[in-house]
Structure 1
Amino acid sequence: MAEKKEQEKPLAHRIDIDRNESFAVEFMKPRHRNCVKCCGCTTAILLILVTTVIILMVTIFHLKDPVLIFNMSKIEGLDVLKEAKAPSGLNLRSEAEVSIKNPNVVSFKFNNTTTIVYYDGFVIGEAVNPSGQAKARRTLRMNVLMYIMVDKILAVPRLRDDLVAKTLPFSTYTRITGKVKLANVIQKRFVVTLNCTVDVSVSGQTIEDKNCKTQYSY
């Protein structure tokens, strides 16, 4: 009888081990499920955030090109060109307006704006506007005062023919550089150039016709 009892002890021990292992497995199952659920929720949240950022970048936060507009109103004193001998060193005043339209949801900060006036390929005037910024989805208008050099105009060979036609074909070149920055994460640099040809009436000293072309570089 003693031998039978001794043989039963290892069997009881094995049953205890099996019960412990079964209990451990049952205990790990809920933890495994919770881990899977947690990982699934985290992945879903990350996907939603990434999708939202992509949608915002493509729609609301999509950085668009600023629009540059140049309007020259008149040039005062053109009658002096009809005189047999115009005063040396005389400068004519020209008023113009440079507009910067910013279609973005953040401000467009730009450097100095340069405008050059040409007559038959010769530089006859120049103006520089200070740096600034165009607010989000707003149009910034800047008044430009340029001085046209009479000596430079008189040196152009075609001037006599244009005076007979009572129209001076000028051209202007305006260049602006700036950047748009979104939350210090998305940043884009713009270089906008605007080339215009304008026909100036000698008698009326006003702009009769204008044609402009815009170019962008980044």
Structure 2
Amino acid sequence: MATEKESGNAKQLAHPSLDQEAAAACRWRSAHYLRRRRCAFWCFGCFGAAVIVLGITALVLALTLFKVKDPEFTINSLSLAGSHFAVANGAVDDDVLSVFLFNFTFEADVSLKNPNVASFRFGSTATTFFYEETAVGVAYAPAGEVGADRTVRMTVRVDVMTNPVARRMNVTAEKLVTGVEVELKSLTEVQGRMKVWGMYKRDLDVKVSCDITLQVSMAYQGIKNTRCSAAVE
């Protein structure tokens, strides 16, 4: 009897039962599942970390390197390149007086600075001179491009014709002996576009307005003072 029992145990050891095989297979599948699950967690964790790093990098670049700064338009100097006087008869307070017409040629040295990492392209620039809201002269500068962290300088010349406003100015020969002051205003507008790596675009409108005081007499014509301010939209 003992021999038969030992023989049966030996057979069970040599040939495991179906329950033992199922348990072993279950344990194998469980270990395989846990390995796959750990691998998936690692993959998702690495992907999430990469997304966070890229997001932080993009945010830092957007706030520093790729942040679009306003261009700087500066009038370095403004001078009179020439002047011309003429006489016309005009009625002032029911009296016929000789009204002087004078035309000036202004020459402005201007610069446009681009502090960004991308180039700034701008269209033709217009500078308009006004006397009491009436345009008396317009100058145009060609379109161009300012490279990254570069500054371009231009020389602009404009003829200011006071004929349309001469009677309002009421400049007579008597006043020109001692000299008169003429108040002018100028407005320069530069429209352009900034493009960073073709991904970020921004349209910019730079405006510079100036108050100009001229000292005018028969013996001397010059600029007394100039006050300018700039704005970017």
* Pairwise CA distance, 1:75: 4.5
* Pairwise CA distance, 1:207: 2.1
Structure 1: 5+ residue runs without aligned partners? none
Q: C-alpha offsets along residues 14-35 of structure 1, whole Å, 9 cap, x if unaligned? A: 2211111111111222222111
Pick one of 55, 59, 65 that aligns with 2:60.
55
Larger strand proportion of the pair: 2
Distance (Å, rounded) in 2 between the aligned partners of 1:35 and 1:158: 88
Pick one of 121, 126, 135 that aligns with 2:147.
135
Note closer, same or farther for the CA distance 1:187–1:162 as it changes in structure 2 (3 Å cut). farther
Distance (Å, rounded) in 1 between the aligned partners of 2:103 and 2:221: 15
Greater displacement, 51-60 / 117-126: 117-126
Q: Normalized against structure 1, the TM-score is what?
A: 0.83
What are the residue-to-residue correspondences of 1:155-166 with 2, within 5 Å? 155-160=167-172, 163=176, 164-166=178-180
SS in 1 for 2:17: helix
| Letter of the 2:198 counterpart | N
Aligned residues of 1:120 and 1:156 also touching (Cα < 8 A): no
Distance (Å, rounded) in 1 between the aligned partners of 2:33 and 2:224: 86
What are the residue-to-residue correspondences of 1:176-215 with 2, within 5 Å? 176-202=190-216, 203-215=219-231
Report what 1:77 is aligned to. Answer: 83
Note closer, same or farther for the CA distance 1:159–1:30 as it changes in structure 2 (3 Å cut). farther
Greater displacement, 161-170 / 196-205: 161-170
SS in 2 for 1:26: helix
**Equivalent residue pairs, number:** 207
Report what 2:108 is aligned to. Answer: 96
Distance (Å, rounded) in 2 between the aligned partners of 1:63 and 1:187: 9
Aligned residues of 2:80 and 2:104 also touching (Cα < 8 A): no
- Structure 1 stretches of 4+ with a deviation exceeding 6 A read none
Report what 1:36 is aligned to. Answer: 41
Q: RMSD between aligned alpha carbons?
A: 2.7
Distance (Å, rounded) in 2 between the aligned partners of 1:162 and 1:191: 41
Which one scores higher on RCO, CA 8 angstroms, separation ≥ 6? 1
Note closer, same or farther for the CA distance 1:165–1:205 as it changes in structure 2 (3 Å cut). closer
* Pairwise CA distance, 1:120: 2.5
Report what 2:189 is aligned to. Answer: 175
* Pairwise CA distance, 1:59: 1.0
Q: Percent of aligned pairs with the same residue?
A: 25
* Pairwise CA distance, 1:204: 4.2
What are the residue-to-residue correspondences of 1:8-23 with 2, within 5 Å? 12-23=17-28
Distance (Å, rounded) in 1 between the aligned partners of 2:175 and 2:54: 64
Greater displacement, 170-179 / 152-161: 152-161
Distance (Å, rounded) in 2 between the aligned partners of 1:137 and 1:18: 72
Distance (Å, rounded) in 2 between the aligned partners of 1:213 and 1:81: 33
Greater displacement, 104-113 / 206-215: 206-215
Q: Normalized against structure 2, the TM-score is what?
A: 0.78
Higher Cα Rg: structure 1 or 2?
A: 2
